[in-house]
Amino acid sequence: MIAIILDTNIYDRLERDDETVAMVNALIACGAVEILKPRQVADELSKRPNPLPDLFPTRVIGHSVGRAGIICAGDFLGNGAVYDEHKGKSRKDADAFIVDVCSWVADWFVTEDNRCFARFPTGTRCTPLRFQAFCERLVQIKKETEEQKKG
């Protein structure tokens, strides 16, 4: 199963893309993918003026920066090294929280945020993808799962 984290901006795109949403739902149903929603993304989506419809099942997960003043119940006990590196001298805590947890639990991180994509760390289990590449990989996985059912 491929663990996928979607950046907030991807939910905005998916809200207008019924075909991709249907494919994600089909791949979730057959156990090929799982959509993880970090607490940071869930918080950002909850602040939208118009609530996001339930596009597909997600599993909400905590942060992975295990530090006083940050850690909450349900968080992973990470050291925050990826968080620190990604944040750098900026004040972009939100992106840094998301990227840090991606490095712990996700296979793919999908974003259209140029800064976040460019600063994504190498050497982690997670591969950053743009929306188009994400869609292309979903099509490939769908083909593979259909071939497995036939064979």
* 69-124 tens-digit pLDDT: 565 556 555 555 555 564 555 566 656 777 778 888 899 999 998 887 887 877 88
The model's pLDDT over 126-144, given as tens digits with 9 standing for 90+, comes to 999 999 999 999 999 999 9
Phi-psi region of 133 (alpha: psi -120 to 50; beta: other; left: phi over 0): alpha
Residue 145's domain is classified under what CATH number?
A: 3.40.50.1010
pLDDT at 77: 57
Mean pLDDT over the full length of the chain: 83
The model's pLDDT over 8-39, given as tens digits with 9 standing for 90+, comes to 999 999 999 999 999 999 999 999 999 999 98
Reference 25, options 57, 3, 52, 54; nearest CA is 57
What is the number of other CB atoms lying within 10 angstroms of the CB of residue 9? 16
Domain count for the chain: 1
State the Cα–Cα distance between residues 82 and 109, nearest whole angstrom. 14
pLDDT at 115: 84
State the Cα–Cα distance between residues 126 and 149, nearest whole angstrom. 28
**Structural domain containing residue 67:** 2-150
Order across the sheet with 59-61: list the strands.
59-61, 33-38, 2-6, 108-110, 127-129
Alpha carbon 54 to its chain's center: 16
pLDDT at 79: 56
| 1, 33, 42, 125 from 148: Cα distances, Å | 14, 15, 34, 25
Record the tokens describing residue 82, joined without a space: 């990826």
| pLDDT greater at residue 99 or residue 41 | 41
Q: How confident is the model at residue 52 (pLDDT cuts 50, 70, 90)?
A: confident
Helix segments in 15-130, DSSP class H: 18-29, 39-46, 81-87, 93-105, 114-118
pTM value surpassing 0.85? no
% pLDDT > 70, the chain: 77
Cβ(7)–Cβ(41) below 8 Å: yes
